[in-house]
Copies of this chain bind each other. A is one copy, B any other.
Amino acid sequence: MFSRTTRQLSAVSSRLSRPSVMSSQFLRQYSFQVFRDAPPLRQMRRQLLLDQKTVGLVPTMGALHEGHISLIRQAAAENSDVFVSVYVNPTQFGVNEDLSSYPRTWDSDMAKLEEVNAELARQGGNVGRITAILAPTSKVMYPTLPPSSEIDGDGSFVTITPISKRLEGASRPVFFRGVATVCMKLFNIVRADRAYFGQKDVQQSVVIKRMVKDFHVDTEIRIGNTVRGQDGLAMSSRNVYLGARRHKVGLVLYTALKAAESAYAAGNVKRSDILDAANRITARVLSDQQALTPSERALFEVDYISLADPESLDELDVVDPSKGAVLSGAVKMAPLEESSAAEDCGLGDGKVAVRLIDNLIIKPRA
């Protein structure tokens, strides 16, 4: 698809200033450059442009899993250079949300990226490589005012309404403002030819596509399929908190969405006929759990099960088969009530509530 030049192992950018135990780790030699600030990355990017190379950006908050790796592989198949950003963005976490408990795993993330690069190298000249990591400080990403998570907090923000108020936005009012804001910054720094997001965060992908269209961002948004475990649970950085019991019960969301998808496939187009199939599943699994003892069960709350227009995310009464729809949902897995010492309760010993989201796309009929 494009030619590769020999690439030397390159040292980390000289603009290191992370005031933490991580500093020494940044000084390691990687097969990609690690940037903490925009200007040196921009210089590299400008040279790639002049050399007619292409850049695919994979934005992440670290805690990399197979879903991210899948996006990186896709980016490497479509671009000569893959840039991965690693930044846990404070403005998308609500004041009472889990910013502090979000997993931070720099060493294992870098090890995974090195593995991917070794894999890509074995594939030879037909695929790109990870050549840059952008791991900015918050002062780089929010240079003037400290990043605010308050709804009426001050700062420089991108807002995309009304779609940011729907679904996930209904329970997380600052979430998509934070996501759009940080992505606009990343897009401006990297000026990627393409940027990669997972289908799993469907509303995020709709918001970002809207932002790119409305603000004429010259980056193509590419959506990678949701990556699932063998049992079907969608990959998420937060899954490490589930443990075995809640993992198994958490499958209820995917199972419910599949039931709704089957109802549509069987010829139903009315909202109630499609969503009733999902709601029957969640109700049955919940009542099954409630019948168990506190040491056996995993309780949950359904936040929403939605049938929505794929572009506006407006709820649909009837699916127009020529336009398709998005089936999506969120459930909140409650902390375990009781557990034994021998049980696999996940990181945090089962005490962290975990919100799971998932979705299935009803594609428009040709």
Interface residues of chain A, those whose CB is within 8 Å of chain B, are: 38, 42, 49-50, 142-144, 154-162, 184-185, 188-189, 191, 210-211, 213-218
Contact = CB atoms under 8 A, between A and B. Distances in A.
When all copies of this chain in the complex are counted, the total is 2
B218 A42 contact: yes
A44 to B, nearest CB: 13
A216 to B, nearest CB: 4
25 contacts: A38-B216, A49-B49, A50-B50, A143-B213, A143-B214, A144-B210, A144-B213, A144-B214, A154-B161, A154-B162, A155-B161, A155-B214, A156-B158, A156-B159, A156-B211, A156-B214, A156-B215, A157-B158, A157-B159, A158-B158, A159-B159, A185-B216, A188-B217, A189-B216, A191-B218
A157 B213 CA distance: 12
A184 B218 contact: no
B216 A156 contact: no
A30 to B, nearest CB: 23
Contact of A215 (B49, B159, B185): B185
A94 to B, nearest CB: 18
Chain A to chain B: the 7 pairs with minimum beta-carbon distance, closest first:
A156-B214, A188-B216, A154-B161, A154-B162, A189-B216, A156-B160, A157-B159
Nearest to A180: B156
A215 B184 contact: yes
Contacts of A215: 156, 184-185, 188
Contacts of A142: 214
Contacts of A160: 156
Contacts of A189: 216
Nearest to A211: B156
| Max chain B Cβ within 10 angstroms of own Cβ: one of A144, A154, A189, A216 | A216
Nearest to A158: B158
Nearest to A184: B215
A284 B191 CA distance: 55
A2 to B, nearest CB: 17
Contacts of A191: 218
Contacts of A216: 38, 185, 188-189
Contacts of A162: 154
A155 B160 CA distance: 6
Query: Considering residues A42, A50, A160, which has the most beta carbons from chain B within 10 angstroms of its beta carbon?
Result: A160
A210 B156 contact: yes
Contacts of A144: 210, 213-214
A67 to B, nearest CB: 27
Contacts of A217: 188
Nearest to A148: B161
Nearest to A155: B161
A357 to B, nearest CB: 23
A180 B158 CA distance: 10
Contacts of A210: 144, 156
Contacts of A154: 161-162
Most B CB contacts (10 A, CB to CB) among A144, A162, A189 go to: A144
Contacts of A156: 158-161, 210-211, 214-215
Nearest to A165: B154
Nearest to A37: B216
A162 B156 CA distance: 9
A214 B210 CA distance: 21
A127 to B, nearest CB: 25
A160 B184 CA distance: 14
Given A156-B161, A158-B158, A188-B218, 7 more contacts: A50-B50, A143-B213, A154-B161, A156-B158, A156-B214, A157-B159, A185-B216
